[in-house]
Structure 1
């Protein structure tokens, strides 16, 4: 069983997948920063809201000590039910950016692979065509 596990782990695909997961996690961090530190402040400025990620709708009355509070973190920590639509929108925008960038990378990789396949394809007749021609000539 250990030998099978070792063989499985040492396969190229598993190592490639591990590298992809690590790079993906680092890339997700960059995308999150782009969303939270660049894009959402611009969206917040356009909408006139200083911190868009902390926009929410209260679904119940907060405790007396937090009455009238607009501190999203404090209300969330107190367990007050609320819809954090600003944070949700931030995460959705983050996902769309990440998905678009991955789409561009995959699209570019597919173009490169298609171009490589075209270059490897022989331009003249194939071996089968040549063998068929030889066979036909021998029959004559």
Structure 2
């Protein structure tokens, strides 16, 4: 029974729950960044490089059967081993953009932390004020 109690204490700690929430939000955020790169950035980059589609850049490491279309998916469907460096370029670009966005977010959070005004000191209790008044009267 002791191990179950320890596990429950571990699982309910704030850090574990925060981590779980972070992983879930991170997964969703990763999909958003993937879409931004795939649907918004890569078409613009491809336009500058002559309508180049990075996701379809590959090097066939075998021979494809006759009549196979010259696309990455067609080669994979035919069972031909491929070196898909275009997919790697896309994923690397996703990582760089995601890292840059996280950097900007952390930079903003740190800026907000520095800009936060210092908290007001707590009000002096009435007892302390009375004792100070008595002390000051005794000095006169």
Q: TM-score by structure 1 length?
A: 0.75
Contact 1:58 1:80 in 2 (8 A): yes
Structure with max Cα Rg: 2
Q: How does 1:24-39 map to 2 (within 5 A)?
A: 24-39=26-41
* Structure 1 residue ranges (4+ consecutive) displaced by more than 4 angstroms after TM superposition: none
SS at 2:15 equivalent:
helix
Distance in 2, Cα, partners of 1:121 & 1:114:
16
Whole-Å separation in 1 of the counterparts to 2:66 and 2:84: 21
Give the CA deviation at 1:89. 0.7
CA RMSD in angstroms, aligned pairs only: 2.0
1:132 aligns with: none
Q: CA deviation at 1:65?
A: 4.5
Gaps of 5+ in 1: 123-140
Deviations 1:65-118 (A, max 9, x none): 53xx312112023332222121111111100000001111122222333444x7
Which string of whole-angstrom CA distances, capped at 9 and with x for unpartnered residues, describes residues 19-72 of structure 1? 111111110000000000000011111112353311112233223353xx3121
CA distance 1:59–1:121, change in 2 (3 Å): farther
Aligned partner of residue 118 in structure 2, secondary structure: helix
Consecutive unaligned residues in structure 2, runs of 5 or more: 122-140
Which residue matches 1:21?
23
CA distance in structure 2 between the partners assigned to 1:34 and 1:11 by the alignment: 35
